[in-house]
Amino acid sequence: MDPQEEYHENGFCVIKGLFCSSEIENLRAVLSIFHERWKKDNINFYNAKAVNSAYITDSKYLDDAQRLSLFRFICSQKILGIAEKIFPNKPAFMNTQLFFNPKDSQQKNYWHRDLQYNPVSVEEQKKLLVDVNVIHFRIPLQPEPGLEIIPGTHTRWDTEEEFSVRNEINGRQRFDNLSSAKHISLDVGDLLVFSANMVHRGLYGLDRFSFDILFCDATRELVQYAKPTCLPDGLLLEAIETPDLFVNTLELMDDFS
């Protein structure tokens, strides 16, 4: 099965060894700077419970040269070639995140669908599941335990057990094991593509440090969740060889404002 068929059937696909060591080392150089600065600024949150940071491409912690290297990576054919095959229509840029281990090694992870954090009813969430695509592209910079996912839940609603666990009802806890889980561990160089809509949880451990790029359907409604300062403009946009992803996203943002 090719990656897009696999994604459409299961809600995820892994492309092993997609990135070479220089691509990974370039990313690591920039992302390590971001991480150290972010930690310093968010020390209480980091010490208490953080497992990720976001808005990596903003100018708060990185200079333009560092941001440009991330923008170029995001627009590279290796990434966008896959995104364009997977999205039913065009992808737009939504956000970036870094995932790392909690400070407390006993901290539990949690099953969820990203869409459950929208302040909408369960019936509306079921509709979002069908209507809206938000997809993570995870690039691990260290070997990592990866994720557990429930294959197929990008298109189907929960079983009673899944619903109880991720919502912590009926005596269940959000870190309980789920029998239908599939474990995906990742090595440096791999790309994991997975639907944010599906039931999933991160697995903590090893020295995990991964870069996630989030793409969404190119619609005005979804692009309003992207932060304008996380996109390139002016000279930075001109310095990207194939900037269509960002140009399209910026145009949709303009439409919205």
- CA 234 from chain center: how many Å? 26
Q: In terms of Cα–Cα distance, which of 73, 83, 82 is closest to 28?
A: 73
Q: Give me the least distance between CB of 63 and ligand AKG, in Å please.
A: 27
Q: In terms of Cα–Cα distance, which of 184, 226, 233, 191 is closest to 210?
A: 191
Q: How far apart are the first and last CA of the chain?
A: 42
Nearer Cβ to ligand AKG, position 149 or 236? 149
What residues line the site for ligand AKG (CB under 6 A)? 51, 99, 114, 136, 147, 196, 200, 202, 212
Nearer Cβ to ligand AKG, position 191 or 196? 196
Q: Do the beta carbons of residue 186 and residue 141 sit within 8 Å?
A: no
| Residue number closest to ligand AKG, CB atom | 202
Q: Give me the least distance between CB of 236 and ligand AKG, in Å please.
A: 26
Nearer Cβ to ligand AKG, position 172 or 201? 201
Q: Do the beta carbons of residue 232 and residue 71 sit within 8 Å?
A: yes
Q: In terms of Cα–Cα distance, which of 23, 12, 36 is closest to 186?
A: 12
Nearer Cβ to ligand AKG, position 51 or 216? 51
Q: Give me the least distance between CB of 29 and ligand AKG, in Å please.
A: 22
How far apart are alpha carbons 81 and 193 in whole angstroms? 13
Q: Give me the least distance between CB of 241 and ligand AKG, in Å please.
A: 28
Nearer Cβ to ligand AKG, position 82 or 98? 98
Q: Give me the least distance between CB of 114 and ligand AKG, in Å please.
A: 5
